[in-house]
Amino acid sequence: MTSEWGEKSTADLMSRCVSKEMGQGVPKEGWRICLAHEFKEKRKPFQAKDVSLSNVMDHIGLGIRYLKWWYKKTQVEKKAPFIDMFRALPLRQIYGAPLGGIGGGTITRGWRGEFCRWQLNPGMYHYKTVIANQFTVCLRRGGQTVYQQVLSVERPPTLQGWNWGYCGEYAFYHALYPRAWTVYQLPGQNVTLTCRQISPVIPHDYQDSSLPAAVFVWDIENKNDYALDVSIMFTMVNGSGHKDDKSGGHWNEPFHLEKDGEAVSGVLLHHCTAANPYTLCIAAREQADREVSHQTAFSPKGTCSGLWSDLITDGRLDSPTGSSPPTQKGEKVAAALAVSCSVPAHKLNSLEFCLAWDMPRITFGSREREHVRRYARYFGDKGDASPSLSHYALTHYKQWEKSIEEWQRPILRDSSLPPWYKSALFNELYFVADGGTVWTELSEDADVSGGVRSEDGGLPAQPALVKEYGRFAYLEGQEYRMYNTYDVHFYASFALIMLWPKLALSVQYDIAGTVVQQDPTERLHLMNGRYSPVKTKNVVPHDIGDPDDEPWQRLNAYLIHDTADWKDLNLKFVLQVYRDFHLTQDSQYLQDMWPICQAVMESELKFDQDGDGLIENSGYADQTYDGWTVTGASAYCGGMWLASLCVMCKMARLVDSEEAYQRYKDLLERGSAAFDKLLWNGKYYNYDSSERALSNSVMSDQCAGHWFLRASGLEEEAYQAFPKEKIRRALKSVFDLNVMSFSEGHMGAVNGMRPEGVPDRSSVQSDEVWIGVVYGLAATMIHEGMLEEGMRTAEGCYRTVWERLGMAFQTPEAYCERSIYRSLAYMRPLSVWAMQLALDRSQRDNTVRAKTGDTDEIET
């Protein structure tokens, strides 16, 4: 299931590597790239100027209103827009696996070794490579330094006293999140270094997975006939490259912590800003055959030759006592930590470092409320946890790795799965931690219910699950700054419900509590130019807020459309409720969600305008594809409506409500007949029933409702809305047209395709490929026994993003066939885990059929 063009694409990433060294413990599976690689294709972000003339004319009012709003936001309020159409992020083809657990902030280390993307303030990203943050190796023989090199291919204009310009052709990077390896052959030295980074992102773990820390293990292979003394130095600036690094008042201090027979030492870098102060920590284990030394403070400007000379003299640093003075305004301060060991001839030794950061109490942009991060439950919220965090990380990382390997092993050893898929499955998980993610404690005065209690058809004020596991939020994308955007979470949620189900349910409780809320405040919606309430009762919100404002308190940061008219949000809530119950069997959750599901379904019925049991669309962009006009019944929303009726029937039976069952069953029967009559054309479901020129476009996601039914285990005839043969025929049409007729089948599935085999270009988004939608489509194909087609469909997206366009660890929402991408580092591609759910279910079904002798339908 790996194509020839795909194998060539993979090989190209390593084509400039001259070293044959494979390093220590580097797995075969994952994303591998030579440090000397250069991506040939350079794409540009979609911006306002890229809208076609015809679409400009259709949206001229939107453009004017957005420009006015953007000017007020950026020039008057001095705030960053939640979506900035004029200053989209340029593509930097540099990112590697992020460091840190879930919800405590992240620091991304690029695949060439640079520390280059920072999310310490919750949800707010800073893209700056801090050049002084480096690892340096020093080799000594017979008391003399024979080699000292910064392990960076960069040649910066600063820090000229350091030896830069490591030759990238002798090294490669390999990522299998949450771990990554960099293998360096030191030219002419007969020494190979393997740097392994480990972050505590561990499925079904709700303690260590929250920790803001990562460990670097350096394995040193000495292939010489003589012993060497080897030192690794880790340098770190107090800050993140942000302008507040020069605001003054920052200071460093050395520390030593001994606990349970293990000792660690290092340097604390106290970053003393008015909002969200934090402490960075670089640390190492103290062991009998290792020497740990430090430099508390140095200035990361000029030549910085003093630090270089300090290390080169004897392979260690001076280790002064006492703290550094607070910085003056305009100056920066950095620290260094070195660990040394002896490596006998033809032997291996290792050194261990930790990077941790402690920002336990956080405020969002409005600074109205203080929140406590999850990890503070275990390490305190006083801001003094960095020594304990580093001690814990350095003494527990082996257990983290054991847990990670046990989780990944069955998939990595499955020879029926292609290598690219294994890389996609694990590496796309980066977004769970690096999606601007916050994981906080439920404060004592918080009321999740939205004011409507259980006895009135609502929720408890503090559901036991949320109280125990906290609140979780992640951004729609690093550029689309809205937390828990629900129409996108619908796709991404497979990763959470399969790996951290308690967090998935916590999100559902938060969303359920918002359903009963209403905010009558009138505001201008930019698309139609009309004023309408911020939040309507019994409608799922688009999102729970902007981190630059006050999430959970002010909903619906998205103000392009009036999302009260979005029919799919309520339906996606209902579908997720049952899928999550099916996968967790949490009966209390089902009982709590049932009345909320009934309320949102009732609000949907107003869209059944002709009483045929099928909701209809009447207007502009009222579903997930912005700019694609929908009139009448549609394959996407209509299909999800029918799927929602199916799960309502199932849930009615589970809660023993015969009256509800009969009501939803009647709607399902009438709606299914209308859906089939209005939309089925013999080959696929038309985009909508309007009979306008483009109503018969082929939508790649037309079977989304059916996908969720299969993911929820609803194969019983009583809970089916779509004839199986029509679903398979529709998927075959999508594969033939949207996949294989688009870019020779090498780029996944385009959103909209005309029956004659050309992309639908009627809207801004119809000719895009949405990576997360494609992974969901592939999962649907796998559920329906179309394994080869599903894998081919998804492979095109992975190859395009990770191997051709250089978008590793920043998978975008979308790309077009040429030139353009949109919204880097996006939530939706987490839906790749829906493919794994489909594969797991397919294997179980085949096993059952084989045991029962029913082999006629076993898929190969």
| Residues 746-796 pLDDT 10s | 999 999 999 999 999 988 899 999 999 999 999 999 999 999 999 999 999
CA distance 351 to 338: 10
Tokens of 176: 């299998």
CB 432 within 8 A of CB 425: no
Percent of the chain with pLDDT over 70: 96
Q: Residue 619 pLDDT more than 70? A: no
* Alpha-helical segments (H) within 655-735: 658-679, 704-711, 724-734
Q: What is the mean pLDDT of residues 421-431?
A: 98
Query: pLDDT tens digits, residue range 279-328?
Result: 999 999 999 899 999 999 999 999 999 999 999 999 999 999 999 999 99
Query: pLDDT tens digits, residue range 666-681?
Result: 999 999 999 999 999 9
Confidence of residue 736 (pLDDT cuts 50, 70, 90): very high
109 beta partners: 115
CB 213 within 8 A of CB 200: yes
Q: Residue 38 pLDDT more than 80? A: yes
Determine the pLDDT at residue 715.
81
Percent of the chain with pLDDT over 90: 83
Determine the pLDDT at residue 623.
45
Could you tell me which residue, 24 or 842, shows the higher pLDDT? 24
Determine the pLDDT at residue 385.
98
Query: pLDDT tens digits, residue range 485-504?
Result: 999 999 999 999 999 999 99
Q: Residue 855 pLDDT more than 60? A: no
CA distance 50 to 84: 14
Residues whose CB is less than 8 angstroms from the CB of residue 264 and which lie 6 or more positions away in sequence, other chains included: 256, 257, 283, 284, 285, 286, 354, 387, 390, 391, 394
Q: What is the DSSP string of 414-478?
A: -TTS-HHHHHHHHHTTHHHHHTT-EEE---TT--TTTT--GGGTS--SS-HHHHHH-EEE-BSBS
Q: Taking the CA of residue 348 as centre, how many other CA atoms within 13 Å lie in the half-sphere pointing to its CB?
A: 9
Query: pLDDT tens digits, residue range 695-711?
Result: 999 999 999 999 999 99
106 beta partners: 119
3-state secondary structure of 259: strand
Determine the pLDDT at residue 628.
57
Q: Which of 165, 804, 830 minimizes the C-alpha distance to 432?
A: 830
Q: Which of 299, 311, 337, 331 minimizes the C-alpha distance to 158?
A: 299
CA distance 662 to 653: 10
Query: pLDDT tens digits, residue range 338-386?
Result: 999 999 999 999 999 999 999 999 999 999 999 999 999 999 999 999 9
Determine the pLDDT at residue 796.
97
CA distance 728 to 780: 10
Q: Which of 121, 214, 205 minimizes the C-alpha distance to 469?
A: 205
**Domains of the chain and any CATH numbers:** 96-401 (2.70.98), 442-852 (1.50.10.10)
CA distance 535 to 552: 13
CA distance 133 to 724: 57
CB 82 within 8 A of CB 548: yes
Confidence of residue 620 (pLDDT cuts 50, 70, 90): very low
Tokens of 721: 């809305």
**Location of structure tokens 């020839």:** 4
CB 598 within 8 A of CB 604: no
Determine the pLDDT at residue 632.
83
C-alpha dist (Å) from residue 164 to 111, 310, 399, 403: 17, 17, 36, 37
Confidence of residue 559 (pLDDT cuts 50, 70, 90): confident
Q: Residue 717 pLDDT more than 80? A: no
Confidence of residue 858 (pLDDT cuts 50, 70, 90): very low
Could you tell me which residue, 655 or 691, shows the higher pLDDT? 655
CB 168 within 8 A of CB 35: yes
Could you tell me which residue, 9 or 730, shows the higher pLDDT? 730
Confidence of residue 629 (pLDDT cuts 50, 70, 90): low
Query: pLDDT tens digits, residue range 737-749?
Result: 999 999 999 999 9
**Location of structure tokens 């694990």:** 426
Q: Which of 413, 427, 432, 507 minimizes the C-alpha distance to 463?
A: 507
Determine the pLDDT at residue 848.
67
pTM (two decimals): 0.96
